[in-house]
Amino acid sequence: MTTNSNPAVPRFDLKEWRERFIRTVLRIASVLGVIMMGVSFPTSTLRDKILYSVLYLILISITLLPTPYILRAYLLLLMVGLIGVNAVVAWGPWADGSIFLLSTIVLASLLLDNRTDIFVLVAFILFVGTLGFLTLQDKFHLIAPKAPKTTVADWGVYLADFSITAVILTTAANMLKSAFGRVVDQMQGVFNSLTVERQSLEEKVQERTAELETRMSQLRASALTARAIAETQEISQLLEKAANLISERFGYYHVGVYILDDLRRNAYLQASSSETGKSLLGQTFRVEPDRRNPLSMVVETNQPILTSDLDKTTYARDVTFPLTRSRMIMPLSVRSSTIGLIDIHSDQPRAFSSQDAEVLQILVDLTAISFDNVRLIEETRNLISQLQANTSLQTQRTWSKFVSRHKSAYLYTPAGVRPVFSQEKHDMADGLSIPIILHGQAIGKINLRKRKGFTSNEWSDRERDVIEKISNQVALALENSRLVDEAQKNALRNQMIANFSTYVRETLDVEEVVRAAATELRRVFDLKEAEIMIGPTQTDSSAQS
C-alpha cells in the first residue's frame, strides 16, 4: 500500500536560484544607481549623463516590470559592460572600468550556462587590445580626446593584468559551478534515496500496521469465540458452535470437527459448518501411519499442518471439497494428548500463515479444554446419578428390612401415642397425607386430620410447606437413629467376637478350647445345644470316596 500524500522532497533548483539572485542584484543596483548618479553627475560629460540616464531607465524597467529571465540577464550584463567600457574609454587603463568588466564576466558565469562568460572574456580582451592598437597608431585620442595620455606599454600591462585576472575568475567561477553542480546532484541522489527508503519504510509500516490490525481482529474474534464456546455445557452443541463460529468469524467456507476414540485409532466427524460437511456427520476415518493423509499426520505429530494447492508436492486434493485451495488441520489437545482434530478449508490460495496458525491454535486449545471440561462434567453428572440411584435403592432395601423388624406406625389419640399394628388403609378424604422422603425414596408417610369444629378442613399451601419441612426433618432423624442403632449393634457384635476370641485363646489344650467354644456359643446365643466337631464328617468322607 502506497500513499499519495508524500511531502515535497528538498531539491535545489538552479534556475529558481538565479531568478532570485538577479532580482536581488537588480533591486540593489536600482538603489545604488541613484547614489552613483548623484555623485558622478556634477563631473560627468553630457554623453555620460545621457548614457547613465538611459541605463538607469532600463534598469528600473527590468526590475519593476515582469520581464523574462533571459532578457533580464542579457540586459544586466550589457549595462554593466557598457559602464565598464565607457570608463576605460574615457579614463584609460587607470580608471575603475576594469572592475565593471570583471563583474560582467563573473555575472555571466553565474547567470548563464551557454559559455557566455567565455564570449564576454574574449570580447573584453579584444576590446582592450583594440584600444592598445589604436594607441600604437596614435588614434586613441580620436575616440577619447579628454582621456589621459597613454602609451602602448601601459595598455600592454593593463591587457596582461586584465586577461590573467579575468581568466582566473572565469576558471574559478566555472569550477565552482561544476563542483556545486556535482554536490547538488549528489545531494539530490541522497534525497532521492532517502525518499525511496522513506516510501519503503512507510509501506512496511503500513503493511505491518495492517498485519497487526488483522492479528488484533483475529485475537478479538478468538476471544469472543472462546467465550461463546465456554458457555456451552453440552458436547454436541459445543462442537457445532465451535465449527460455526470459526467459519463465520474467520471467513472459512468449511470447518469440520473430528473426535478420536479412546484408542486413537478412529476419528469421527462430529460437527461441520458447511452443508456438504453436515451430510458426512458420523463419517469415520482410520488413523494410520500415512504421510499422504494430513489428518493422520496431525494425530501422529500433534502439530498443525498447513497446505495450499500452490504447493504441488505437499497438497492432497479432497474430492469432497473441490473448492478448497488452502487447508489447515489443527489438533485438539488436552494435557499433551490429542483428542480430536479441527479441519479448516478456504477457497483462497495461501489463506493460512504461521501467524494465523498461532492465533487459531490458541482458540483450538481453548475449545479442547472446554470440550474436556464438559465431558468431565457430564461424566460427573452420570456418576452422581448412578450414586443417587444406588443410594435410593439401598435406602429402600435397608428400610424395608428395618420396618419388617420394627413397629411400622404410630398414632396420636387423646389417650396418647400408641403403635398401629393393622396395615389397613384409613380414609384420608378430609385429611392430609405427606410422604417421608429419604434419598428419593418414600420410607413412610404422615397422615393428618383436623379436629372437628374447625371452620375449614382445607389445608393451606403454607401448612403444607411446613409439614413437608417437618417430614424432611423426620426422615433425617429416622435415618440418624437407624444408623446409630446399627452402629451400636455392630459395636456389640465386635465386642462379643473380641471377648470370645480372648476366652478361647486362654488355653492351649485342644479339648479345653473346643469345650470352651461350645459353652460360650450356647451362652451368647442362648442356645439349647451347641456342638463342635473336630475331624472329617461322614458326609465329607463319602464325598472323598
So what's the pLDDT on residue 2? 43
Distance CA 18, CA 236 (A): 83
425: pLDDT strictly greater than 60: no
| The three grid cell numbers given for residue 354, joined into one nine-digit string | 504461521
So what's the pLDDT on residue 12? 64
What phi and psi, each to the nearest 5 degrees, are found at residue 442?
Answer: -80, 110
So what's the pLDDT on residue 298? 85
So what's the pLDDT on residue 398? 76
Provide mean pLDDT across the span 371-386.
Answer: 85
Ranking 36-45, 176-185, 335-344 by mean pLDDT, the lowest is 36-45
Which CA distances in Å does 501 have to 275, 506, 520? 77, 9, 10
pLDDT over 70 percentage in the chain: 86
So what's the pLDDT on residue 251? 85
Provide mean pLDDT across the span 153-164.
Answer: 86
The H or E element that residue 9 is part of is none
Distance CA 222, CA 92 (A): 96
Which CA distances in Å does 329 have to 283, 342, 349, 362? 17, 6, 16, 14
From the list 372, 358, 27, the residue with the least C-alpha distance to 222 is 358
72: pLDDT strictly greater than 80: yes
Domains in the chain with CATH codes: 14-196 (no CATH), 235-380 (3.30.450.40), 406-500 (no CATH), 507-544 (no CATH)
Beta-carbon neighbour count of residue 191 at 10 Å? 14
463: pLDDT strictly greater than 50: yes
46: pLDDT strictly greater than 70: yes
377: pLDDT strictly greater than 60: yes
For residue range 438-462, what is the model confidence (pLDDT) as tens digits?
Answer: 777 777 777 787 776 555 667 788 8
Ranking 230-239, 359-368, 514-523 by mean pLDDT, the lowest is 514-523
182: pLDDT strictly greater than 80: yes
542: pLDDT strictly greater than 60: no
Provide mean pLDDT across the span 421-431.
Answer: 58
Provide mean pLDDT across the span 523-532.
Answer: 74
With cut-offs at 50, 70 and 90, classify the pLDDT of residue 465. confident
Radius of gyration of the chain (CA): 60
pLDDT over 90 percentage in the chain: 3
427: pLDDT strictly greater than 70: no
The H or E element that residue 103 is part of is helix 97-111
545: pLDDT strictly greater than 50: no
Query: Contact 365/229 with Cβ under 8 angstroms?
Result: no
Which CA distances in Å does 123 have to 91, 109, 127, 158, 471? 19, 15, 6, 15, 136
Query: Contact 374/232 with Cβ under 8 angstroms?
Result: yes
| The three grid cell numbers given for residue 433, joined into one nine-digit string | 397425607
- 340 contacts: CB under 8 Å, gap ≥ 6: 257, 258, 259, 260, 267, 270, 331, 332, 368, 371
- Start-to-end CA span in the chain (Å): 105
With cut-offs at 50, 70 and 90, classify the pLDDT of residue 467. confident
For residue range 279-305, what is the model confidence (pLDDT) as tens digits?
Answer: 888 888 787 776 677 888 888 888 888
Query: pTM (2 decimals)?
Result: 0.49
Ranking 20-34, 279-293, 367-381 by mean pLDDT, the lowest is 279-293
Provide mean pLDDT across the span 489-502.
Answer: 78
> Which has more pLDDT, 206 or 496?
206
529: pLDDT strictly greater than 50: yes
Half-sphere exposure of 426 (CA within 13 A, CB side): 15
What phi and psi, each to the nearest 5 degrees, are found at residue 528?
Answer: -75, -40
For 16-34, what is the HEC assignment? HHHHHHHHHHHHHHHHHHH
Query: Contact 328/354 with Cβ under 8 angstroms?
Result: no
540: pLDDT strictly greater than 60: no
Please, what is the average pLDDT of the chain?
Answer: 80
From the list 462, 461, 427, 466, the residue with the least C-alpha distance to 447 is 427
So what's the pLDDT on residue 538? 56
Provide mean pLDDT across the span 123-146.
Answer: 77
So what's the pLDDT on residue 233? 77
- Which of 52-56, 177-181, 506-510, 517-521 reaches the highest mean pLDDT? 52-56
63: pLDDT strictly greater than 80: yes
